[in-house]
Amino acid sequence: QLRLPKELLIRLTDQCQVPPATLPFLHQVLELYAERTPGLHTVVEGVMRPGYMGLTPGETLGHDHFAFRTFGVPGLGISSLERILLPLGYQRVEDPGAPLTFPAKKLVATWFMAKDPRVRAVLPRVFVSEIQVEKLSPAAREIILGTTGWAAGAGEAVQVQVLTALLTGTAPWPRPTLEQYELLLKESEYAAWVLAHGYSLNHTALALHRLPGVGPSLDMDGFVRQLSGAGMAMNAEGGLVKVSPDGLLLQCSVVADRRPFEFSCGQQQDIAAAYVEFVKRLRLPRFAHLKDEELREEHLRDGFEVGNADRIFESTTLAATGAGSK
């Protein structure tokens, strides 16, 4: 029934380890994303096909993480995804201290991982960010609160709306006008993206470290050149490969596909939609003694990195996705 390329399916060998709704939920989210992300098909069909880096036919590409964007307003925001993810077998990873913060973009973010350690190498982490709406200009706030204000007093009914939005790849608020979208775009590309796309998946990040043949030794610069060669426009913000200060978390992304979007009142315009990211996690120094074949996900650098994420967020900006780059 699923039209998702089989390489992108998430497969658990023992499904008892997660609630029965978890995989169908993740696949539904991914299916809607795949439909509106032509760039993903170029990656899967043009580069990461069977034979590439030891991939055998029928083998799946691991998803390192899924990412969602939200408005930080009462009833919505990170907590609205938390309420969906906890019953699905996820837990919030408390960064000792505070959430990841991006002051210039007025964003905060956190991430979730599978509660059961046995499925952590298979179930994607989930990265969720929210924009601090109270820090935006009065005009931007008015647009966002005008369209999301209903959630503040709606109690548990909000969650029905949020879940429906997730399962249909939509927003739990009316379509904006083009004018509202453009006003937000001038101030915060992120806010404009959320206004249009709501809870649809922003990106999946494929786990390069899980490619059977290469995993740990894959050369990211060479990989980026291959993607460029296949016609993909790469996010060049701060360099093509984003590297964490400890050198152990490497990320790169293809800029978002621009897709026609139906605004209210029948207006249509191409806007940034979703993108594809790639992650390579390297071995933690304390596992230096392990042989390559003994390496598993738990021996690799975990989590996210503010400096990398700050640049990855730019994958949907007009500068990155604008005319001429694709």
From 111, 107, 105, 104, select the one nearest 81 (Cα to Cα): 111
Q: Which is nearer to ligand OOG, 147 or 235 (CB)?
A: 235
Q: How far is the CB of 277 from ligand OOG (least distance, A)?
A: 6
Cα 203 from Cα 127, distance rounded (Å): 10
Q: How far is the CB of 87 from ligand OOG (least distance, A)?
A: 23
67 binds ligand OOG (CB under 6 A): yes
User: Six-digit token pair at 284?
Assistant: 């933690």
102 makes contact, choosing from ligand OOG, Ni ion, none, with CB < 5 to 8 Å by partner type, with none
274 binds Ni ion (CB under 5 A): no
User: Residue from 42, 147, 188, 202 that binds ligand OOG (CB under 6 A)?
Assistant: 202
202 makes contact, choosing from ligand OOG, Ni ion, none, with CB < 5 to 8 Å by partner type, with ligand OOG
Site string for Ni ion, 196-235 (x = CB under 5 A): ---------x------------------------------
Q: Which is nearer to ligand OOG, 211 or 272 (CB)?
A: 272
Q: How far is the CB of 51 from ligand OOG (least distance, A)?
A: 27
Q: How far is the CB of 305 from Ni ion (least distance, A)?
A: 10
User: Residue from 127, 199, 261, 263 that binds ligand OOG (CB under 6 A)?
Assistant: 127
Cα 180 from Cα 148, distance rounded (Å): 14
User: Residue from 304, 317, 320, 321 that binds ligand OOG (CB under 6 A)?
Assistant: 304
Cα 12 from Cα 8, distance rounded (Å): 13
Given the rule CB under 6 A, which of 1-9, 13-21, 231-239, 305-313 is the region that contacts ligand OOG? 305-313
249 binds Ni ion (CB under 5 A): no
Q: Which is nearer to ligand OOG, 149 or 303 (CB)?
A: 303
**Residue carrying structure tokens 């001429």:** 324
207 makes contact, choosing from ligand OOG, Ni ion, none, with CB < 5 to 8 Å by partner type, with none
**In b/e form, how buried is each residue of 262-289, taking b as 16+ CB within 10 angstroms?**
ebeeeeeeebbbbbbbbbbbbbeeeeee
Q: How far is the CB of 101 from ligand OOG (least distance, A)?
A: 13
Q: How far is the CB of 277 from Ni ion (least distance, A)?
A: 5
67 binds Ni ion (CB under 5 A): yes
Q: Which residues bind ligand OOG (CB under 6 A)?
A: 67, 69, 127, 129, 202, 205, 251, 277, 304, 308-309, 312-313, 315
Q: Which residues bind Ni ion (CB under 5 A)?
A: 67, 205, 277
